[in-house]
């Protein structure tokens, strides 16, 4: 299984990176370079993460509750960047990811690929524009969520950084404008983005439609996102407000049902305090989901859910850290327990919420090697990917052990 992942990577990503580098050279020919040796600015990096997941009762990212667990959580990536001129940065990353049944072939995808052009820059202000496939600046961790070394834990808080429907919040093909104001004691960063969300096969599960009867296909429409962030005293304190309006059309696959529109409008408040030896992070999000345009009125719906987590991350020694986090989500804040959902014969109540207590431990013996372990004790199944389980077989109370080895190269 792992060998097949590497065999696919042996050819395709090299070709993608070669094309990316070639396009940079072509573009640099039409822009006056800052110096003759453009390739001196080239940086290339890669990473690999492999996890073992062992769970009780419910499966997560493969058959984790059976036999010796699941090895079906793998991330392999490579990125390259180049600065043809002082105010132009070109960067791209290819990612091959498997998370249970969501991507069984390890198909490499363009994670991001963009031109970043600085319109204005001095000691107090930087303004610029990005064009291409852009990672959404949402919350604290979204832009770096696929590299294990930049995550506080193996899994990010699933109440806000969903892996179940990750493509809705991951990236868009479009344009982003940013402005950074450097104050005496801090930095204010603002970004606004418009484009088409890069949706994958996981998006359909966000609809909460009866999947046994419908064969849904989705495609993104023009969407917007904005974030304002303040970093005080070199990042000792971080505050952020993020908001998005994500839109998609979908085909139900059934003539009597018709086609519809999906709208996802999350907002998030983020706060983080960082000291030399510990960090405290909290985020809260409201998520509005709306389905409209279907011929069967009962399938059109609008619901607001909310999420929050509190996380404490502590350094033990120079190369050891531990973490504790409590993470809560409800799909409908008017029906937090899911009882009304179950009374309406729409599904089990526990599928509408999740409360996760996480304990984590990380050891980084070398800058290029990270070994992680964490334990999850979970009440509810609201963020379990539907492809890993049949919903009628899920247990409300379950737990999970995760081990991961990560490498930089």
Contact present, 109 and 115 (Cβ < 8 Å): no
Calculate the CA 283 to chain-centre distance. 15
Query: Percent of the chain beyond pLDDT 70?
Result: 86
For 45, the token pair is: 């990096």
Q: Which pLDDT value is given to residue 391?
A: 57
Q: Which pLDDT value is given to residue 1?
A: 36
pLDDT (tens digit per residue) in 129-155 = 999 999 999 999 999 898 999 999 999
pLDDT (tens digit per residue) in 164-190 = 878 878 899 999 999 999 999 999 999
Q: Which pLDDT value is given to residue 273?
A: 98
Q: Which pLDDT value is given to residue 105?
A: 58
Q: Which pLDDT value is given to residue 347?
A: 86
Distance between start and end Cα atoms, the chain: 22
pLDDT (tens digit per residue) in 7-41 = 333 344 334 333 343 343 333 333 444 444 777 89
Contact present, 233 and 185 (Cβ < 8 Å): yes
pLDDT (tens digit per residue) in 353-396 = 999 999 999 999 999 999 999 999 999 999 988 777 765 678 99
Q: Which pLDDT value is given to residue 296?
A: 84
Spatial separation of the C-alpha atoms in residues 200 and 198, rounded to whole Å: 7
Query: Which position has the higher pLDDT, 386 or 268?
Result: 268
Q: What is the DSSP letter of 41?
A: G
Check whether 407 has a pLDDT greater than 50.
yes
Contact present, 263 and 289 (Cβ < 8 Å): yes
Mean pLDDT of the chain: 87
pLDDT (tens digit per residue) in 279-302 = 999 999 999 999 998 888 888 889
Arch. (CATH architecture) of 112-400: Beta Barrel (2.40)
Check whether 156 has a pLDDT greater than 60.
yes
DSSP codes, 322-343: EEEEEEEEES-TTSTT-HHHHH
Q: Is 20 helix (H, G, I), strand (E, B) or coil?
A: helix
Q: Which pLDDT value is given to residue 18?
A: 38
Check whether 241 has a pLDDT greater than 80.
yes
Residue 250: pLDDT band (50, 70, 90) is confident
Q: Which pLDDT value is given to residue 136?
A: 94
Q: Which pLDDT value is given to residue 3?
A: 37
pLDDT (tens digit per residue) in 38-47 = 778 999 999 9
Residue 163: pLDDT band (50, 70, 90) is confident
Nearest-10 crossing angle of helices 12-28, 2-9:
30
> Comparing C-alpha atoms, which of 220, 205, 216 is closest to residue 253?
216
For 129, the token pair is: 């524009």
> Comparing C-alpha atoms, which of 41, 45, 61, 43 is closest to residue 53?
61
């Amino acid at each position: 299984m792992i060998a097949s992942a590497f065999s696919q990577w042996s050819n395709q990503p090299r070709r993608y990176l070669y094309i990316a580098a070639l396009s940079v050279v072509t573009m640099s020919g039409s822009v006056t370079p800052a110096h003759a040796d453009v390739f001196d600015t080239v940086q290339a990096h890669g990473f690999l993460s492999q996890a073992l997941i062992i769970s009780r009762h419910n499966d997560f990212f493969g058959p984790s509750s059976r036999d010796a667990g699941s090895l079906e959580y793998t991330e392999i990536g490579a990125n390259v960047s180049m600065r043809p001129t002082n105010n132009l940065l070109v960067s791209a990353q290819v990612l091959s990811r498997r998370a249970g049944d969501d991507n069984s072939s390890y198909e490499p995808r363009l994670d991001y690929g963009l031109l970043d052009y600085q319109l204005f820059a001095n000691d107090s202000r930087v303004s610029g524009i990005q064009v291409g496939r852009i990672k959404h600046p949402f919350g604290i961790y979204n832009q770096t969520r696929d590299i294990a070394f930049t995550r506080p834990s193996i899994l990010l808080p699933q109440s806000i950084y969903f892996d179940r429907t990750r493509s809705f919040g991951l990236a868009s093909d479009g344009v982003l404008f940013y402005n950074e104001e450097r104050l005496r004691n801090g930095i204010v960063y603002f970004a606004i983005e418009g484009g088409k969300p890069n949706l994958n096969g996981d998006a359909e599960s966000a609809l909460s439609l009866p999947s046994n009867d419908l064969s849904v296909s989705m495609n993104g429409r023009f969407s917007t996102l904005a974030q304002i962030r303040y970093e005080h005293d070199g990042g000792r304190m971080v505050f952020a407000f993020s908001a998005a309006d994500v839109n998609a059309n979908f085909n139900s696959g059934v003539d009597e049902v018709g086609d519809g529109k999906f709208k996802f409008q999350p907002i998030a408040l983020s706060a983080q305090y960082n000291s030399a030896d510990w960090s405290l992070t909290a985020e809260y999000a409201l998520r509005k989901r709306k389905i409209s345009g279907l011929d069967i009125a009962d399938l059109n719906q609008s619901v607001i859910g909310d999420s929050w987590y509190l996380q404490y991350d502590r350094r033990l020694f120079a190369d050891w850290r531990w973490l504790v986090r409590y993470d809560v989500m409800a799909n409908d804040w008017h029906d937090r327990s899911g009882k009304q959902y179950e009374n309406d014969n729409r599904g089990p109540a526990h599928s509408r919420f999740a409360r996760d207590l996480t304990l984590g431990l990380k050891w980084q013996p070398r800058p290029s090697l990270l070994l992680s372990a964490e334990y999850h004790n979970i009440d509810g199944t609201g963020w379990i990917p539907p492809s890993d389980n049949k919903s009628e077989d899920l247990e409300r109370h379950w737990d999970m052990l995760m081990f991961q080895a990560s490498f930089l190269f």
